[in-house]
Structure 1
Amino acid sequence: MDLKEIKQILQKYWEGETTEQEERLLTDYFNSNNIAPELQQEQPFFAGLAELTEDKRDEALEEDIMNHILEQEHREKTHYRWLWQTVSGIAAALMIAILAVNLTSNQKPWQDTYSNPDQAYAKASSTLQYVAGYYQKGMKGLEPVKTINQASTPLHSSLNKLEKGFQEIQKVEIINEKLKKQ
């Protein structure tokens, strides 16, 4: 094979347009002892490529890796199966408990406490008034808080003025720093 043809195939190879047969020709050429001096720099690439394509597999390592992968998959399946069974068991137990409570409560139908609606209204009113009385007592205990809030209003306004003063001082300090840098 002449040098011109090898260069053309090599150009096609770098452009990714070679066939398998042309690639085998290049590999054979660069593995031979009569390589043209101008193509000598390409020889290590094709030697490394040939070395990578040789079938040097470690079957024991491949088997160990595959066993590890299969073992991990089995563990995950077992874990998820156990989790699914646990959740299903809890859900079933809850359903049975709810069903049992529902069946026992249906045996005793609900009955009104009062047969007369006016009596029921009067009892509800008295209960609400009772609760409202305790609510009012609780609110009276909060009156000192209202007094404290009113007394602290002047303090808040003074603090706001003081805060504005500090902000102005910071602005002056920033301007002073800028002037020192200039």
Structure 2
Amino acid sequence: MELSNIEKLLEKYFEGETTISEEKELKVYFTRETVPAHLERYKDLFQFFSQESTITATKDLKLNTRRKTRYAWVGVAASVALIAGIFLTNQPTKPDKNLGTYEDPEIALQETKKILNMVSQYMNEGKQELVYLKEFENTKNKFIK
């Protein structure tokens, strides 16, 4: 086999793009006694793979599948209980038709002003924190210049 072909196969191997047959070619090539000096470092690697591929299991393993099925039913039961709990606790209630309405327009105006004032206060509190962002932007611009 040509040396350039082996080097291309090595590149493909280390990129994880080789097929099984190409890996077998590399194993056969590197198990030979004579390998070029610059490829000598790969010889031990492929010889190890060749030796390890001949090892077979000497003992049969028995898996306990009975235990798995028992725990599978616990998960199914928990899922059913969770779904039933969600549907039973979230029953729709009748909406109150008078909720948020006022008979007197003056009271409605006062309540609206009160709520808008509260929203304005929260917006202003958030705006105070933006001063730090402006300071950060100025410092960043100094470093950029």
Q: What band does the TM-score fall into relative to the shorter chain? A: 0.3 to 0.5
TM-score by length of 2: 0.42
Based on CA coordinates, which of the two structures has the bigger radius of gyration? 1
Higher relative contact order (CA 8 A, sep 6+): 2
